[in-house]
Amino acid sequence: MENRPQWGTRAGFILAAVGSAIGLGNIWRFPGVAYENGGGAFFLPYLFALLTAGIPLLIMEFTIGHKYRGSAPLSFFRLKKGAEWLGWWQLAISFVISTYYAVIIAWAMSYAYFSFSQKWGKDPLNFLVGDYLKVTDAGQVGSLVPGVFIPLIIVWVITLGILFKGVKKGIEAANKIFIPALVVLFLVIVVRALTLEGAAEGINAFFNPDWSQILNGKVWVAAYGQIFFSLSIAFAIMVTYSSYLPKKSDITNNAFITGFANSSFELLAGIGVFAALGFMANQQGVPIDEVVSKGVILAFAVFPQIINELPAFNGAFGVLFFVCLTLAGLTSLMSIVETYVAGFQDKFKVSRNKAVAIGGGVSALISILFATQGGLNFLDTVDAFINNYGVAVAGLVEIVIVAWIAKELGNLRNHANAISDIQLGSWWNICLKYITPVVLGVMMFMNIRTDLT
Ligand code: PHE
């Protein structure tokens, strides 16, 4: 424990945390989730979840990592004997996510390359599922698809290469380059998208509130799920990253910066994506909801089509977009893998290199399953499962254990206040102990009830 690695600078830690938070979830998940769940009306539950759950939980996780100086299982063990399993459970979710997250980054990398020649042709959806992913009907795992396999290996070589170099020379150094680059490139994309014909209608559709959705439990759970996924909360990540903080660190401020930076980027991505969708609807003369989609289809079928229809500089726009996806994905993937690297190191007392080689190696091998025929069906199922049952539940269980079973909120608040500029008041305890479990619990209960009837 004495020679635990440390971040070199405060900015380095913040960039790494922001790098973990900003990921595929911001660019391809958020715009579609917001649109489906009431558009402009979604922002109310979203903001509520950010302020009463997202940021308070981030502060809690930063404090736990900083106070107990361990990977998630070790930190939860030190917080309360018997709570170690919580860390392993979160780590297991992270492990599963990393195996398919890597594959999506590999696609983004291929598509950056395809952008030069618009290799996807006139029918990008057909190209995606037919030629590129070779999706089979039965959804069975078939033979390897080389077009996916090769970039996947590159993704793992880059990620594990960075992790081998360590926390400061690897993760911190990479984020210091990747995140500023991502922000600048992404701004170029958004400005370009905003100047396209039809952009205004797209943005209108995005912000247009459907207030009839506001009391729907699914909308609220979706908002919490989006905030937790997007901020990388309850995945063992933020605890791990903050366990590398120096003793003197301003925890609360760092959490606010991370939370607001992530949501700002998310909003920016929503605006950019919908401006581009508005352009496409305009070109095809169809209403906007006919072109809205999310996830794999949005990024790898709809965007190529938009790129096809751009009046000029198609190739450059495509390269920028997919390079952004790749950068955003890589900085998140390294944080996910770091959770189990740190967990194995603490538990089995192995060296960092061994933990990276074994932990990263095994997930790389498993991820190859997704690079086979039918891999997309498999990926969709796992992703839906994690999102519907994993994310919000994991956050809720963590709060209940820390606030109600271990009764540690008071101690954690004292710990954070002793080293931070912003002093946490009782609002913080109230948010975590009462508001979040009640709102999230009731909404989940409502969902289960409607699902059953
Ligand atoms: N927060 C990242 C995103 O928005 C994804 C992520 C999820 C990273 C879970 C780590 C763990 O895409």
26 lines ligand 1 (CB under 6 A): yes
Which residues does 348 contact at the CB level (< 8 Å), separation at least 6?
355
pLDDT at 114: 97
pLDDT at 350: 96
The residue whose CB lies within 8 Å of the most ligand 1 atoms, and thus the one to mutate among 232, 235, 341, is: 232
pLDDT at 141: 53
387 lines ligand 1 (CB under 6 A): no
Per-residue pLDDT of the chain (453 residues), as tens digits, is 457 999 999 999 999 999 999 999 999 889 989 999 999 999 999 999 999 999 999 999 999 999 999 999 999 999 999 999 999 999 999 999 999 999 999 999 999 999 999 999 999 999 998 889 888 665 455 678 888 999 999 999 999 999 999 999 999 999 999 999 999 999 999 999 999 999 999 999 999 999 999 988 889 988 998 999 999 999 999 999 999 999 999 999 999 999 999 999 999 999 999 999 999 999 999 999 888 887 788 899 999 999 999 998 999 999 999 999 999 999 999 999 999 999 999 999 999 999 999 999 999 999 998 888 877 777 777 777 777 667 778 889 999 999 999 999 999 999 999 999 999 999 999 999 999 999 888 887 877 777 777
Determine phi and psi for 39, rounding to 5 degrees. 55, -120
What residue's CA is closest to ligand 1, atom 6?
Answer: 232
Q: Is the ipTM of this complex over 0.90?
A: yes
Say how far apart CA 367 and CA 382 lie, in whole Å. Answer: 12
CA of 72 to the centre of ligand 1 (A): 16
CA of 328 to the centre of ligand 1 (A): 10
Cα-Cα end-to-end distance for the chain: 52
What residue's CA is closest to ligand 1, atom 5?
Answer: 23
- Quick one: which atom of ligand 1 is closest to the CA of 328? 12
335 lines ligand 1 (CB under 6 A): yes
240 lines ligand 1 (CB under 6 A): no
List of domains in the chain: 16-452 (1.10.4160)
pTM, to two decimals: 0.95
226 lines ligand 1 (CB under 6 A): no
Spatial contact of 49 and 30, defined as CB atoms under 8 Å apart? no
336 lines ligand 1 (CB under 6 A): yes
Smallest CA-to-CA distance from 53 within 225, 202, 187 is with 225
Q: Is 341 left (phi over 0), alpha (psi -120 to 50) or beta?
A: alpha
pLDDT at 142: 66
CA of 232 to the centre of ligand 1 (A): 5
Other CB atoms closer than 10 Å to residue 296's CB: what's the count?
18
CA of 231 to the centre of ligand 1 (A): 7
Say how far apart CA 374 and CA 148 lie, in whole Å. Answer: 12
23 lines ligand 1 (CB under 6 A): yes
97 lines ligand 1 (CB under 6 A): yes
21 lines ligand 1 (CB under 6 A): yes
- Quick one: which atom of ligand 1 is closest to the CA of 232? 1
Determine phi and psi for 232, rounding to 5 degrees. 55, 40
95 lines ligand 1 (CB under 6 A): no
20 lines ligand 1 (CB under 6 A): yes
Spatial contact of 125 and 297, defined as CB atoms under 8 Å apart? yes
262 lines ligand 1 (CB under 6 A): no
332 lines ligand 1 (CB under 6 A): yes
105 lines ligand 1 (CB under 6 A): no
